Structure 1
Amino acid sequence: MPDSPTVHQRRLRIDLRRAREAAGLTQEQAAKGLEWSLSKIIRIEGGTVRVAVSDVRVMLQQYGVPQERFDEFLTLARAARETAWWSAYRRVLSPQLAELIGFESAAGVSREFQPLIIPGLLQTSAYAREILSSLRGEDAADQIDELVEVRIRRQEIFEGDTPPRFFFVIDEAAISRPVGGDAVMRSQLSHLLEMAKRPNVTIEIVPFARGAHPGLVGPFKLIEFAEPEDDDVLYLEGAQGELIGRDYREEVVRYREKFEALRRLSLGPEGSAVLLNTVAESL
């Protein structure tokens, strides 16, 4: 899967920050020298806005970056302004989900917990259609095909030369509910078993026997970016979804600890595969 505009944007913001720091400038000093507002520098370095190629050029000049490095930065800036594939589905995607898809494409490690349904990245098209139809209702019937397409296209992230490392923790409730009937669910469980064989995918089940656990608060996802200087992002699922990042580091850390606690409560990869087989054979 080729790098998305989100990947290029996040790389660019880090490189621009490094260039400013190498010049010995604070954000306030850089803003003053460029005759910009401080908030503009903060937004650019925070990766919350797409920066114009012309702005990148004047920043490089202000920071004293050697001319021979300009092409490197400007190429990133142009790539960051390209249209992402999910933009074609803007009609059916919430802004939060669209942003999450962009973050997924830039992930180095992805950690996800689901208490009630199979994680979207692991769903078969038949299972996804049943779930989306149930959640969206008849009013969104004309959107289901596109939503399923998006869900399946997101799974392209598993391919490529250097795919992210994935950790999925799933409550037993999610694998026990026969969504779409026995045939659909059997196929879904078989798909989980196949995905678990990938070297970069770990799937673990928290059994009913564990009783109450930290994941009962609801589903969540943690994205650790490939660039070590990039802050982790927390996605809390809900009606619209909520993304939490660098301004809430303590909350991100708390959910990271919660995820590791859920892993300790799980059956582990091998025991989880046994349970998946057992449930599939019972259908």
Structure 2
Amino acid sequence: MARVRSGRTVAHMVLATRLKTLREAAGMSRGEAATALGAHTATVRRIEQAETSLDEGQVHALLTAYGAGTAEIEAFLGQLAAANLPGWWHPWRSVMDSWQLDLMSVESAARIIRVWEPALVPALLRTPSYARAVDNVRRPDLPPEDKDRRTELLMERQKRLRHQNTSIWAIMSAAALRTSVGDEDVMAEQRQALRAAVERPDVTLQIHPLDGRCHPMTGMPTVTLYRVDVEEIPDTVVREGDLRGSAEVLNSLHAVSAYHLLMDHTCVIALHPDESKEALT
């Protein structure tokens, strides 16, 4: 099972892949690269798979061994310095779930995000009050200040996705509209926010009716698919678990293709986006 490693950004993964490409273009094996680096072959493998941080000295040595010129090396190291800067989400890292730490850089570069939510309003379409009310129920272990920070993070995620024109395609059960989260004011505000969201060009919402027939995602937990328009970064699936803050993160071709197919079939069975708009009124 391939995973996006904690702390590795999209920029790190791109640079790591470029190092592998340069080694192969130079006709060198990992063993030969390791000899040039004065390290074990496993070290080169971990560097190329973004399983470890990219050290400037090691990168310089590898690029030199691969025959890179001075200008190319300087440009590469400049990109590495930029990649090493903390991500925008750094101030919230203490209240983030571990899988979010793994995936935030991918989300921040995503072109499209597809979501299946079985019982609640999808997180990326939640209001602050609704999001806080969900945490009050699902994360009673957290102190109030941590819940506030988590809500702040979610709102920042939503804002940044809008600014980068990421498309959100969500499928949710109509149960979300009938499940009371917070008080009546919270629910009224959330329904209004959904009505406004579906008018945006970057949001597609499909609702699966309560009396609808069984579909491929029936019984599944929340599932999110990320697609990034960067050749070196594979599509990624997050399947959230039952335990607090747990999730399975997958980016193997087999897993991603399987979930894409399940999502596609579920979309066919769910209400058309125009019918879903009517269901919100």
The normalised TM-score by structure 1 is: 0.87
Deviation for aligned residue 1:189:
1.9
Deviation for aligned residue 1:220:
0.8
Percent identity over the alignment? 27
Q: Deviations over 1:131-162 (max 9, x none)?
A: 011111165334211111111111123233x4
Q: Please, what is the CA RMSD of the aligned residues?
A: 2.2
Amino acid at match of 1:259: M
Alignment of 1:1-283 (within 5 A): 6-137=9-140, 140-160=143-163, 162-215=164-217, 216-238=219-241, 239=243, 240-246=245-251, 248-277=252-281
Q: Deviations over 1:185-230 (max 9, x none)?
A: 1221222222222222211111122233222221111112221332
Runs of 4+ residues over 4 Å off in structure 1? none
Q: Which runs of 5+ in 1 are unaligned?
A: 278-283
Q: Which runs of 5+ in 2 are unaligned?
A: 1-6
Q: Deviations over 1:32-91 (max 9, x none)?
A: 432333332232222333212222211211211222222321122112211123232232
Partner Cα separation in structure 2 for residue 203 and residue 153 of structure 1: 21
Tell me, yes or no, if the aligned pair for 1:169 and 1:205 is still in contact at 8 Å. yes
The alpha-carbon distance between structure 1 residues 203 and 37, as it changes in their structure 2 partners (threshold 3 A), is: farther
Q: Secondary structure of 2:54's partner?
A: coil
Tell me, yes or no, if the aligned pair for 1:131 and 1:179 is still in contact at 8 Å. yes
Q: Secondary structure of 2:89's partner?
A: helix
The alpha-carbon distance between structure 1 residues 22 and 142, as it changes in their structure 2 partners (threshold 3 A), is: same
The normalised TM-score by structure 2 is: 0.88
Deviation for aligned residue 1:129:
0.8
Partner Cα separation in structure 2 for residue 11 and residue 127 of structure 1: 36
Q: Secondary structure of 1:217's partner?
A: coil
Deviation for aligned residue 1:267:
1.0
Tell me, yes or no, if the aligned pair for 1:60 and 1:70 is still in contact at 8 Å. yes
Which residue of 2 is the match for residue 281 of structure 1?
none
Q: Deviations over 1:82-108 (max 9, x none)?
A: 112323223222322222222211222
Which residue of 2 is the match for residue 280 of structure 1?
none
